Structure 1
Amino acid sequence: MLQETQTQPNDLRFERSRTAHGTAYAAVGAGEPLVLIHGVGMRLEAWAPQIAALSAVRRVIAVDMPGHGASEKLAPGSHLENFVDWLEIFLDDLALDGVSLAGHSMGALISGGAAVTLGSRIARVALLNGVHLRNPVAKAAVIARAQTIRAGSVDVDGPLQRWFGEGSQMSPIYRLTHGWLSAVDPDSYATAYYAFAHGDETYAGRWGEVNCPALFLTGSHDPNSTPDMTNAMADATPKGWARIIDGHRHMVNLTAPDAVNAIVEDWLAREEKPE
């Protein structure tokens, strides 16, 4: 059952800017930069509770993934590495270095790849509901979904049932995310989902190379980005630590925003992992 706190996102639209390479983003606040990347089928508004809370003390830059929101597409068949390249170009376009980087789901995969490959450009990284080395059954299921989506069949309610659980259909957050997922460009959704389905192994063996403060967070009931995955990534990262939010699932930044914001604020203040 979906659990919600009093802090909820409204169905609002942030004022967007666009880079020279066609990536749409919203920048709110001033100070050290925090870049936020949403998951497959969503848009930058999915970070509304975090933008509202964290922009009081820093510059929060939320981006639309390629082909989502108002961003230009990537080529069909793009892999996770291509999405990491897209992020590097975005950082170049905004002349950003030493950023704090947080991603959710597919955004977490991109953020992890950036932490491995972009060196000091990433000052700290946070993966919310990230996937890591799926077991064979889960791998087969997500690849089958990717193939179905590439064939032109988009199921909106299936993902939301996995994200929120049974009995959540009347929740305002369910309806909000349903609207976002229904509106996404089908070809771009297929491209991103393909990269998401095949990307859990791409950088999985390289967490030992990430020396910045690294937060790994998920919900205790997330069936796809599991606590075991979260703990495994944290254990493999020199300055990594895990946080599990009890009773929540995949969209934990929306269903438990106050708890997530507090954890993220702690991560933003740290240079080392907690004792």
Structure 2
Amino acid sequence: MANGPASYLSVGSGGVPVLLLHGFAGDRLSWQFNLSALAAGRRAVAVDFPGHGASTLDVGAGHVRDFAPWLRDVLDALEIPVAHLVGHSMGGYVGRELALLAPDRVASLTLIASAGLGTPFDLDFLRHVTALRDVADGVACAERLFATPSPLIPRIGEVLHAQCRDPQRQRALRTIIETSFALNAGGGSPVDWSGISAPVQALWGREDRVIPMPTPDRLPPGAPFHIFDHVGHVPHTEAAGPVTAVIRQFLTTCDEAAGALSNPT
């Protein structure tokens, strides 16, 4: 099981907080284009997972599901009794596991290009991200995350390459891949959503080349499914404005519904 300290960014106050969960090989700065807008009227927290950013490099056996109790401990440390979860890729996987583990701690779940739905994904890409030869190789990987050219790609490529130069981090990331992802790259049965009571929505880029769009049967019945044209695997970066607006509206709707249930007329 993952153990050790967490690194995070916290912005804003009030309301039901929103916890932002990055994808594999990302970090809390993945949310830099969303954080301030999501913090309008509520606290927004972006956390680094084990093996990522400045958090602990102890990923245990590498089971992504084991990040859920670690994340619950983070919520306890931050004195957050309940939060909206917004998870990108691997972060969506962890968010779903937390919603199963501690349903009373999760107000809603937003999945952005989420892993863990039993859909096929590009395992070779994940492995490549941990074995980059040089910065140019990192830039090539970053390009695959986007559907269209972006001025952000060179910097992301540099960051991806830099983390590969740290042997400890490289081992942690490879452990996660081989334990949690390698056996399921071809897909599997649809997940069972019966244990999750929180409202769920999904957001996806139509041109995602890492985790292609799932069929609706992979999501809870009736869950909103927002598809963004000309967008790849990082919708919250490539289409930050529209994606953030959709998330904010969903959080507000969930808060209003919860308030109506707790204060029936």
Kindly report the root-mean-square deviation, in angstroms, between the aligned alpha carbons of the 2 structures: 2.6
Q: How does 1:192-231 map to 2 (within 5 A)?
A: 192-194=176-178, 195-198=180-183, 205-229=191-215, 231=216
CA shift for structure 1 position 117: 2.0
| Mapped partners of 1:52, 1:102: distance in 2 | 14
* % identical aligned pairs: 26
| Mapped partners of 2:69, 2:190: distance in 1 | 17
Instruction: Out of 38-47 and 238-247, give the one that drifted further.
Output: 238-247
Q: How does 1:121-270 map to 2 (within 5 A)?
A: 121-131=105-115, 132-135=117-120, 138=121, 142=123, 144=124, 153-154=131-132, 156-165=138-147, 168=149, 171-184=150-163, 185-194=169-178, 195-198=180-183, 205-229=191-215, 231-234=216-219, 237-238=220-221, 240-270=223-253
TM-score, normalised relative to structure 1: 0.77
| Mapped partners of 1:126, 1:65: distance in 2 | 17
Compared CA separation, residues 198 and 24, structure 1 to 2 (3 A): farther
Q: Greater RCO between the two (CA within 8 Å, min separation 6)?
A: 1
CA shift for structure 1 position 223: 2.5
| Mapped partners of 2:104, 2:73: distance in 1 | 15
Structure 2 residues without counterparts, runs of 5 or longer: 164-168, 258-265
| Mapped partners of 2:233, 2:92: distance in 1 | 12
CA shift for structure 1 position 24: 0.4
TM-score, normalised relative to structure 2: 0.80
Structure 1 residues without counterparts, runs of 5 or longer: 1-19
Instruction: Out of 94-103 and 254-263, give the one that drifted further.
Output: 94-103
Letter in structure 1 aligned against 2:138: V
| Mapped partners of 1:251, 1:213: distance in 2 | 22
| Mapped partners of 1:37, 1:242: distance in 2 | 19
> Residues 54-91 of structure 1: CA distance to partner in whole angstroms, max 9, x if unpaired?
11211001001112211011246411221222212212
